[in-house]
Amino acid sequence: MTLLVMKFGGTSVADLERIRHAAAHVKREVAAGNRPAVVVSAMAGETNRLVALTREASPLHDAREYDTVVSSGEQVTTGLMAIVLQSMGIQARSWQGWQIPIVTDDAHGAARIKEVPGNELLRRMERGEVPVVAGFQGLGPDNRVTTLGRGGSDTSAVALAAGLGAERCDIYTDVDGVYTTDPRIVARARRLERISYEEMLEMASLGAKVLQTRSVELAMVKGVRLQVRSSFDDPESVPPAGSDAPAPGTLVCDEDEIVEKQIVSGITYAKDEARITLVEVADKPGVAAAVFGPLAEAGINVDMIVQSVSDDGRHTDITFTVAAADLDKTMSALEELRAQIGFKELRGTTDVVKVSVIGIGMRSHAGVAASMFKALAEKSINIQAISTSEIKISVLIDAAYTELAVRTLHSLYGLDDL
């Protein structure tokens, strides 16, 4: 008997036919004597539709009411999944975030889960009931519905797995695992058998949207084993949890469980970046603080920062990146500080992309950055900013070169599926 969480993303519950197909995966586990808890997303496109409605109602709106609206997509799919499971002879019951409750903080629109009490659900699961839990939503300290940020159902699934003490958390999606890069842009991307939490965390936060970053963070902290797999598999032809045959897909696990360590495991790109340049600021102590202090106070996250060497010893340029959604806010905050900071010109653009190479092997291998820069130079791709950590190197380039850069690096590090 394996206690497991089975999460189905938007494409996997896009209509009743898909919901029936997903339900057949659940049925396989129940038939094998396992105890699954199900987490569902809203139907594909539904959350986008709801977000657009709130914007149309008023561009500036109350975040609590945004959550009331956008959380509703998951309520529909929990009920439909429960009905379909019941029609297959499985005892199923839907659960909204507030009913469990999935306790979160008060950051409406991007709430963090604090606790998922598992006792009541466990009691029912022991009696053979299958809970169908709404992903993406929780209950805030103000007793109102919260949502966890886009892609948040992954995090609901991991938090539920931790709360139940489940042996595994299966993430059913529209790809059959985690790939070396987004399979939609590189046809030769290869599925990874296993990937470490750390690498997956970097990949998620640097653009691979297959898992929400927070879900990986939480899985790493709580030691939840994540299996990313396809919901399109034939439910009857894949082995149930607990059998000798390994599950299809990609296992996200501890680094020690990975025998073959690659230097580079994955490549990501993130288009939601904006670049800002302050031209000719004074080259003297305190200027960086004058620029970045007020931005931090305004809650603007700055990512990459480059300060060029000053030619005349008096002036320099500062270039940095922020989330594209923060560009306007950042530009106006800096305009207001023009006199105080003292710069000649302020430039901002969203025509950039951040391309990153990720791998735990980089810790022990020198020269990855050098080979990356050389390969990009050979394709005449100019690097506008660089940032590194122990297991990743990111470069900011012109957005027009996204595919060329990702493909070039994918081949360079031997990731192509030949």
Position of minimal CB gap to ligand ADP: 9
151 counts as binding ligand ASP under rule CB under 6 A:
yes
Residue 13 or 368 with smaller CB distance to ligand ASP: 13
Q: Can you name the residues that pair with 4 across neighbouring β-strands?
A: 36, 168
Q: Which does 137 bind (CB under 5 to 8 A by kind): Mg ion, ligand ADP, ligand ASP, none?
A: none
User: Quick one: which of 148, 165, 162 has its CA closest to 115?
Assistant: 162
Residue 37 to residue 168: CA distance in whole angstroms: 11
Residue 140 or 151 with smaller CB distance to ligand ASP: 151
- Residue owning tokens 């936060």: 205
97 counts as binding ligand ASP under rule CB under 6 A:
no
* One residue of 136, 172, 269, 413 binding ligand ASP per CB under 6 A: 136
CB of 22 to ligand ADP, least distance (A): 11
135 counts as binding ligand ASP under rule CB under 6 A:
yes
Inter-residue contact 310 to 316 (CB < 8 Å): yes
- Cβ atoms within 10 Å of 196's Cβ, excluding its own: 21
Backbone angles phi, psi at 278, to 5 degrees: -100, 115
Residue 52 or 296 with smaller CB distance to ligand ASP: 52
- Cβ atoms within 10 Å of 400's Cβ, excluding its own: 12
CB of 137 to ligand ASP, least distance (A): 9
Residue 210 or 337 with smaller CB distance to ligand ADP: 210
User: Quick one: which of 317, 417, 400 has its CA closest to 351?
Assistant: 400
Residues at the contact surface with ligand ADP, assessed by CB under 6 A: 9-12, 41, 151, 173-175, 178-179, 181-184, 208-210, 266
* One residue of 152, 183, 207, 249 binding ligand ASP per CB under 6 A: 152
Q: Which does 413 bind (CB under 5 to 8 A by kind): Mg ion, ligand ASP, ligand ADP, none?
A: none
138 counts as binding ligand ASP under rule CB under 6 A:
no
In the stretch 325-364, what mask flags binding to Mg ion with x, by CB under 5 A?
----------------------------------------
Residue 72 or 350 with smaller CB distance to ligand ASP: 72
Residue 337 to residue 119: CA distance in whole angstroms: 54
Residue type, 263: I
Q: Which does 11 bind (CB under 5 to 8 A by kind): Mg ion, ligand ADP, ligand ASP, none?
A: ligand ADP
CB of 355 to ligand ADP, least distance (A): 13
Q: Can you name the residues that pair with 346 across neighbouring β-strands?
A: 278
10 counts as binding ligand ASP under rule CB under 6 A:
yes
Instruction: Give the single-character DSSP code of 179.
Output: B
The DSSP secondary structure of 247-263, one letter per residue, reads PSSEEEE-GGG-SS--S
SS3 312: coil
Inter-residue contact 258 to 196 (CB < 8 Å): yes
Q: What angle do CA 159, 83, 210 make, to 5 degrees?
A: 40
Residue 240 or 266 with smaller CB distance to ligand ADP: 266
Q: Which does 20 bind (CB under 5 to 8 A by kind): ligand ASP, Mg ion, ligand ADP, none?
A: none
151 counts as binding Mg ion under rule CB under 5 A:
yes
Q: Which does 208 bind (CB under 5 to 8 A by kind): ligand ADP, ligand ASP, Mg ion, none?
A: ligand ADP
The DSSP secondary structure of 187-240, one letter per residue, reads TT--B-SEEEHHHHHHHHHTT-TTS-HHHHHHHHHHT--EEEEETTS-TTTSPP
List of residues 6+ apart from 136 with CB closer than 8 A? 41, 42, 47, 70, 71, 73, 74, 147, 148, 152, 153, 156
Inter-residue contact 385 to 396 (CB < 8 Å): yes
CB of 50 to ligand ASP, least distance (A): 9
CB of 11 to ligand ADP, least distance (A): 5
CA-to-CA separations, 330 to 22, 31, 240, 298, 354, in angstroms, rounded: 44, 55, 51, 9, 19
135 counts as binding Mg ion under rule CB under 5 A:
no
250 counts as binding ligand ASP under rule CB under 6 A:
no
CB of 260 to Mg ion, least distance (A): 28
47 counts as binding ligand ASP under rule CB under 6 A:
yes
* One residue of 150, 191, 209, 222 binding ligand ASP per CB under 6 A: 150
- Positions in the binding site for ligand ASP (CB under 6 A): 9-10, 41-42, 47, 73, 135-136, 150-154
- Positions in the binding site for Mg ion (CB under 5 A): 9, 151
